Amino acid sequence: MSYRIKGNTGEWEVVIGLEVHAQVISKSKLFSGAATAFGADPNHHVSLVDAAMPGMLPVLNKEVVEQGVRTGLGLRAQINMKSVFERKNYFYADLPQGYQISQFLEPIVGEGTITLDLEGGDVREVGVERMHLEQDAGKSVHDQHPTQSYIDLNRSGVALMEIVSKPDLRSPEEAGAYLRKLRSILRYLGTCDGNMDEGSMRADVNVSVRKPGDELGTRTETKNVNSIRYVQQAIEHEAKRQVKILEEGGEIVQETRLFDASNGTTRSMRSKEEAHDYRYFPDPDLLPLVLDPAWVEDIKATIPELPDEKKERFINDFGLSAYDAGILVADREKAMFYEEVAEGRDPKLAANWVMGDFFGALNKSGLSLDASPVSAKQLGGLIGLIKDNTISGRIAKEVFEVMWETSKDADTIVEEKGLKQITDTGPIEAAIDEIMAANPNQVEAFRGGNEKLIGWFVGQTMKATGGKANPGMVNQLLKKKLAG
């Protein structure tokens, strides 16, 4: 189903491109030795380079370059062996240099691809136009003083990757899928923590509308949107706003807009109108960055199995559905957890338990995976007990609840509570005989053709055995005995 905006003159297609700013995981900044950690006191993580004191010179951080190359490789993108840092000139209170050091004509990473995982296990490829390295700006605080803004430069000079998609996205859902997948890849690579709350990932959203099949329309750019939901809201609002203007005979002005999270709308950011003339030029303080091919090969060797490959493997080796595999690989830690659970166990049963009872309990208790009271090994143990018929699936759910409460192993709990499944025919037969003797009318009715009553007998037998009877055997024995 294509996403369309319904207007008075028919349906409109929405064309979306995203520019994602992702903070690079590194200890120190892109061009200085100041720390990057979030949450420090104002201006503590600031060197004289970051404060743009006269005479200070930038020196490029090797780890950041490596992270950039790693990200490019993870996006299946072209790595440019030569790239150039340029100055992007504009004035703002939190930009002490008066320019941002960025890459413009020659970015470190060229075209790549991201595979979107859509509803129902569908996939779609979206192009990445480029990725470049640049400095972050400082932070302005406007609400602490009636006539002043406070400037904190802790973020100033922290390395960002700007990842620019092609205008390949066509709906808020696809934009969401793109951001989730990109975040997942960056987390797998360990190049960005993807934490949108702390601003380590934020998106500029380019939106235009057109009648299906027409040329691209004029776009607007909504800056610095910091959650996936907000990105989707901004797209929706912006598309509707543009359709209304066009249908009323107006024209779209190419402009920068701001997203207002309080009401889900966008508004013009007039101050930026002239600022688009950035007068880029190569930074004379920095030489071109030339990568040694051997270094790139070394970095390639450190790339872990990424979500797409892992998903492929889960489908092929474990027989999981594309949908289940997609859910399990989205988060690297969860995927690793699942693999540990599934190790030497039935992989499908393991997937059901991890995605069902386990994630359910985790969500309900609001715990993160590493704080889970039940380890992957323990959950694997429980699955082993189900598989070898020690306990039934129903009892397993009870055992799991106790495991969650006590962090004990499944077999200990089964032992302590005497929950071992009854697989001897003797006790089951005895229970059935008793039930049949006590309920002659039901036996009569069943034999008279009311075969649905078998369910009632199964229930009674399970109840009589405290739920411990093997359900398969109960069925089998009941059928035999009831048949007379």
Q: Which residues sit at the interface with other proteins, rule CB under 8 A?
A: 26-28, 32-35, 41-51, 53, 59-65, 84, 89, 91-93, 140-142, 144-145, 147-153, 258, 269, 271, 274, 277, 279, 282, 286-290
- Nearest residue to 135 via CA among 49, 256, 222: 49
CA dihedral 247, 249, 255, 258 (to 10 degrees): -40
User: β-pairing, 159-165 with 10-23?
Assistant: antiparallel
Of 278 and 456, CB closest to other proteins: 278
Nearer to other proteins (CB atom), residue 43 or residue 226? 43
- Would you say the C-alpha torsion 278, 282, 286, 292 has a positive or negative sign? positive
Taking the C-alpha atoms of residue 59 and residue 27, their distance in angstroms, rounded to an integer, is 15
Kindly tell me which of 34 and 383 has the beta carbon lying closer to other proteins. Answer: 34
Least distance to other proteins, CB of residue 66, Å: 9
Q: 188 or 259: whose CB is closer to other proteins?
A: 259
**CB 34, min distance to other proteins, A:** 3
Smallest gap from residue 63 Cβ to other proteins (A): 3
Report in angstroms how near the CB of residue 61 gets to other proteins at its nearest: 5
Q: How far is the CB of 121 from other proteins (least distance, A)?
A: 40
**CA–CA gap between residue 289 and residue 80 (Å, rounded):** 10
Greatest Cα pair distance, the chain, in angstroms, is 100
First to last CA, the chain: 57
Shortest Å distance, C-beta 318 to other proteins: 38
67 vs 378, beta carbon nearer other proteins: 67
Task: Output the DSSP codes for 320-343.
Answer: --HHHHHHHHSSHHHHHHHHHHHT
Least Å from the CB of residue 96 to other proteins: 9
Residue with tokens 């005995």, as numbered in its chain: 481
- Rounded to whole angstroms, the Cα distance separating 22 from 194 reads 7
If we measure between CA atoms, which residue out of 358, 304, 314, 357 comes closest to residue 339? 314
Do 465 and 427 form a contact (C-beta atoms < 8 A)? yes
Helices (H), 275-392: 293-300, 307-318, 322-329, 332-342, 347-353, 359-365, 376-387
Q: CA nearest 353: which of 419, 310, 400, 412?
A: 400
| Minimum distance from residue 53 beta carbon to other proteins (Å) | 8
> Do 256 and 272 touch, CB atoms closer than 8 A?
yes
Nearest CB to other proteins, comparing residues 149 and 450: 149
Work out how close the CB of 108 gets to other proteins at its nearest, in angstroms, rounded to a whole number: 11
Pick between residue 64 and residue 189 the one whose CB is nearest to other proteins.
Answer: 64
Find how far residue 48's CA is from the centre of its chain: 37
Map residue 452 onto helix, strand or coil: coil
Name residue 265's beta-bridge partners. Answer: 260
Q: Name the nearest CA neighbour of 131 among 163, 101, 99.
A: 163
| The dihedral sign for the CA sequence 164, 168, 116, 301 | negative
With tokens 């004509």, the residue in question is: 105
Contact yes or no for 161/22 (Cβ under 8 A): yes
Give 141 or 438: the residue with its C-beta nearer to other proteins. 141
Would you say 87 or 181 has its CB closer to other proteins?
87
Between residues 133 and 478, which has the closer beta carbon with respect to other proteins? 133
C-beta of 287 vs 367, nearer to other proteins: 287
- Which residue's CB is nearer to other proteins, number 273 or number 343? 273
Pairing of strands 256-260, 220-225: parallel
